[in-house]
Structure 1
Amino acid sequence: MYSIQMDAARKERINKQYLRQVLSIAGSDTSGGAGVQADLKAMSACGVFGMSVITALTAQNTKGVHAIYPIPADFVGTQIDAIFTDIRVDAVKIGMLGNADVMKVTGERLRRYHPDLVVVDPVLLSKHGYPLMDDTAREVFLSEIVPLAYLITPNLPETTFLAGFIPKTIDELERAGKKILSLGAKAVLIKGGHRESDADDVLVTTQGVYIFKGERLASQHTHGTGCTLSSAIAAYLARGLTIVKAIEYAKNYVRVGIEHGLNIGHGIGPIHHFYNLYQGEVPQL
């Protein structure tokens, strides 16, 4: 039975004093603000050792995605094998997968190695609206990837795709979350950034609904926020926090990064992944 509390085996592992190790399976961002680059920055800033499996190369900058070059699925599988056959993986973050073959390989490998904690960021579109998942892959995503999720973190458009309708009220968000749970995910965090009424995030689990109050920040520096949030959550889960606390810590980390965003490029700039570290603050729990 799924629980938002840690089970005894996980508590025992967490009590051992070792550096937690988190794997990102995602696409690359040449500009460094999103994708695997953002994932590794966030993981480092949140106190874990980050590793990566590259699923696609992108040519992009702060103004948009110019091209995507998919990595062959068998090589994605080989990358995953290389990590799991040698290195302990305390959590996995899944980002952009792109095509059905990569999804199938990723799903098969993760079922083979069965990591406890998998955070899925269902990347459908870039910040500028560039499609990052082709149409033929969407059904495969539902069958191969969603059931792996300890937590899935869709924004409103992604929630609409997963649930099959546009949720507007809290009751509708809860209904959408339960629909996504029925697809196999153990918990759903519906992000509120695209909603008109408020920016609250809604966590739906089998044990209840939790509201995380959000605020809209007047900033142009939001490139990579979804990648960063899911990676930070994965890092804090790996470090032993419950799902509610991991989300609270990750949301605060992203908020600070947006508030102190970097003036890089001529479009939507990146958040500051290391602001707290630059201030001399170590990521303690």
Structure 2
Amino acid sequence: MSVLTACVAGNSYGIWDSVALPQAFIAKQFEVLAEDFNIRATKTGMLTDTATIETVVAAYQKYDLGPLVVDPVIITKHGNLLLEEQAYQTLRTKLLPLATVLTPNFYEAQKLAQMELKDAKAVKKAARKLQALGAKNIMIKGRHEADQDRVSDYVLLADGQDFWLEHDYYETTHFNGTGDTLSAAIVAQIALGQDIKTAITKAQAYTYRALTQEIAVGHKFGPINHWV
């Protein structure tokens, strides 16, 4: 099931226009889906503004939508800010405490934890700070830059268990939807009954395969391969 919060006009070159949907319409989507379906797990993606975040938070508090995976779409993988400051603060204080799993990228983790991630020790400290904000399980996605050979994702579970998931850095222009795919795959595994550790591990492996086994779609920044 999907609840739309905004519509965009986009292609492989970029996003050219967007329209935020009315809050009453967003709330109605939640209402009618919750009335009809047994939703076993859910995720958030890009939430346009403060009002939208507050509407989504209210819906999660009102309806039983299963464990929540929050993909905090705040900063791009290249470090560009996507949310205005007020909306960011609302996400940080109201949505994060509802998260069963939080999946920030490297830059989002720095922003949310309010610290630089200079080394592995700092990443671990940041994950603990994010748990202190209320999120139960944390997956901090490693930095993806051309100057590195390996990418290291760090996972801190609610019970204190932690581990690293590592893979080779893969250079490609077909990476659109990588973070969305990862969080959606975690949700799918949770809905299938997997524990959080298994869900994260399987989702990460799937996403990496989808990234490295490319399909040719569009002229510039294409999507990753969900058919893998």
Structure 2 length-normalised TM: 0.92
Give the match for residue 142 of structure 1.
92
Contact 1:229 1:251 (8 Å CA) reproduced: yes
Structure with more relative contact order (C-alpha pairs < 8 Å, separation 6 or more): 1
Following the alignment from structure 1 to structure 2, what is the Cα–Cα distance between the partners of residues 153 and 96? Answer: 13
Equivalent positions of 1:125-164 (< 5 A) are: 125-126=75-76, 131-164=81-114
Q: CA deviation at 1:127?
A: 5.9
Aligned partners of 2:152 and 2:165 also within 8 Å: yes
Question: Which residue is 1:176 aligned to?
Answer: 126
Q: Which residue of 1 aligns with 2:182?
A: 229
What SS does structure 1 have at the residue aligned with 2:121? helix
Among 47, 57, 67, the alignment partner of 1:107 is: 57
Q: Give 1:132 deviation, angstroms.
A: 3.5
Query: Is 1:54 matched up with 2:4?
Result: yes
Aligned with 2:216 (options 263, 276, 285): 263
Question: Matched residue of 2:58: which SS?
Answer: helix
User: In structure 2, what is the Cα distance between the partners aligned to 1:163 and 1:130?
Assistant: 17
Aligned partner of 2:156 in structure 1 is 204
State the partner residue of 2:206.
253
Q: Quick one: distance in 2 between partners of 1:267 and 1:257?
A: 17
Change (3 A) 1:268 1:127: farther
CA distance in 1: counterparts of 2:84 and 2:32, whole angstroms: 27
Deviations 1:5-43 (A, max 9, x none): xxxxxxxxxxxxxxxxxxxxxxxxxxxxxxxxxxxxxxx
Q: 1:171 to 1:200 in 2, by over 3 A?
A: same
The answer (yes or no) to whether the contact 1:181–1:205 under 8 Å persists in 2 is: no
1:199 maps to amino acid: V
Instruction: Give distance in 2, aligned partners of 1:136 and 1:92.
Output: 24
- Indicate how the Cα distance of structure 1 residues 267 and 130 shifts in structure 2: closer, same or farther if over 3 A, else same: farther
Tell me the secondary structure at the aligned position of residue 52 of structure 1: coil
Displacement, 1:88? 0.5
CA distance in 2, matches of 1:237, 1:63: 33
Structure 2 distance, partners of 1:61, 1:218, is 21
Q: Aligned equivalents of 1:61 and 1:133: distance in 2?
A: 21
Return closer, same or farther for 1:264/1:225 CA change in 2, 3 Å cut-off: same
Could you list the runs of 4 or more consecutive aligned residues of structure 1 that deviate by over 2 angstroms after TM superposition?
Answer: 125-135, 193-198
Q: Which moved more, 1:260-269 or 1:156-165?
A: 260-269
RMSD (Å), alpha carbons: 1.7
1:88 paired with 2:41, answer no
Deviation of the 1:247 alpha carbon = 1.3
Percent identical among aligned pairs is 32
What secondary structure, in the 3-state scheme, does the structure 2 residue paired with 1:262 have?
A: coil
Task: Give the distance between the partners of 1:172 and 1:114, measured in 2 at CA.
Answer: 35
1:219 to 172, 178, 190: 172
Give the TM-score normalised by the residue count of structure 1.
Answer: 0.75
Unpaired segments ≥5 residues, structure 2: none
Aligned residues: 225
* Structure 1: distance between partners of 2:38 and 2:63: 11
